[in-house]
Amino acid sequence: MTRDESSIELAAWLKTAPGRYLLAWEQARLDQAVADAFGFHALQLGLPELDGLRANRMPHRWLASDTLYVPQPLPVPPPVDEALLQRPAPPLPALNCEFEALPFPDASIDLVVLPHSLELARDPHLALREVERVLVPEGRVVIVGFNPTSLWGLRQRLGHVRRGMGLARERGLFLPRAGDFIGYWRARDWLRLLGFEVEAGGFGCWRPPLASERWLQRFAWMDRFGDRWWPVLGAVYLICAVKRVRGMRLVGLLRQERRVKARTAPAAVAPRQGSATAARAAPHREA
């Protein structure tokens, strides 16, 4: 399956009932994850159907795609923050490039959003290494991916087994066929090996793998209790990480720390000439 065929299949799946349900959850969580990320340059790799940078306020934002397929925009829920509705969002410039060879210099991007980009990349290891290369020190990366240990992942594996045995029908798979689903802890290990520090992470979309909108709505109560009772069974996960560089320290934090130490340090008292304190501090001389 070519990259264009994979993108077409994913775009078609996002128009289904579970696809819209997944897209709504990811859009809401990405709005929260990127709203407080500051800098000048932000980049989203893949999934043009999702505007992962709409809640970010960086002046320069790009949307990169590694295929020639141009999907139609899908309806997404409005942002939770009403201030974002009043602020007109400029269109994201579209770039066509390989995720394993990004056309940006080293340490030039402040934020990178990867919505299902690693699991659909030709070489996810090299793609993540490229993200580490273009990120500035203390830059942020947000990764969204399918959870293979969820009910949706189990349904997908059973579909692959049935297809291998010749028992599955044409629509035996629940999720798109393309891509290798990368687990939550596996993605964290990759980030740690590249020097990232994971700041936050979590799961979402706990409803069963059902294709009907009616039945998905009947199991909406699972989203209210899933985060507390069965978090690892969420169909999708989100990871926020920061690029750490050894031997580097933010000057602003260093100055602030010095000010705090100066305010909390005890004041030095100099004894006056001829005072009792000076007499006790003077060395004793023998006559």
pLDDT score of 53 more than 80: yes
13-17, 54-58, 61-65, 174-178: the lowest-pLDDT one = 174-178
User: Residue 200: pLDDT above 50?
Assistant: yes
In-domain check, residue 134: yes
Give the tens place of pLDDT for each residue, 241-250: 999 987 665 5
Spatial separation of the C-alpha atoms in residues 51 and 26, rounded to whole Å: 10
Q: What angle do CA 107, 193, 3 make, to 5 degrees?
A: 70
Q: What is the CATH number of the domain that holds 183?
A: 3.40.50.150
Sequence-separated contacts (24+) of 53-60 with Cβ below 8 Å: 53/92, 53/111, 53/113, 54/79, 54/84, 54/89, 55/30, 55/31, 55/79, 55/81, 55/84, 56/111, 58/110, 58/111
The dihedral region occupied by 155, where left means phi > 0, alpha psi between -120 and 50, and beta the remainder, is alpha
Q: Give residue 87's pLDDT.
A: 56
Name which of 60-69, 80-89, 95-104 the model is least confident about.
80-89
Q: Which domain holds residue 158?
A: 3-243
Q: What pLDDT is attached to residue 178?
A: 63
User: Does a structural domain hold residue 255?
Assistant: no
User: Residue 143: what residue type?
Assistant: I
- Residue 95 within any structural domain of the chain: yes
How many angstroms separate the first and last alpha carbons of the chain? 102
pLDDT digits (tens, 9 = 90+) for 146-176: 999 898 988 888 876 655 555 444 456 788 8
Q: Look at residue 121 in the predicted model and tell me its pLDDT.
A: 86
Q: Does residue 133 sit within a domain? A: yes
Structure tokens at 23: 């897209």
d(CA 263, CA 115): 45
- Let me know if residue 284 belongs to a domain: no
Cα–Cα distance measured from residue 236 to residue 177, given in angstroms and rounded to the nearest whole number: 16
- What share of the chain in percent tops pLDDT 70? 70
> Binning pLDDT at 50, 70 and 90, where does residue 122 land?
confident
At residue 48, does pLDDT exceed 60? yes
Beta-carbon contacts of residue 59 (< 8 Å; ≥ 6 apart): 40
- In tens, the pLDDT along 203-239 reads 999 999 998 999 999 999 999 888 888 888 999 999 9
pLDDT exceeds cutoff 80 at 62: yes
Number of domains in the chain: 1
Q: What is the pLDDT of residue 130?
A: 96
Confidence of residue 72 (pLDDT cuts 50, 70, 90): low
Give the residue-averaged pLDDT of 246-269: 53
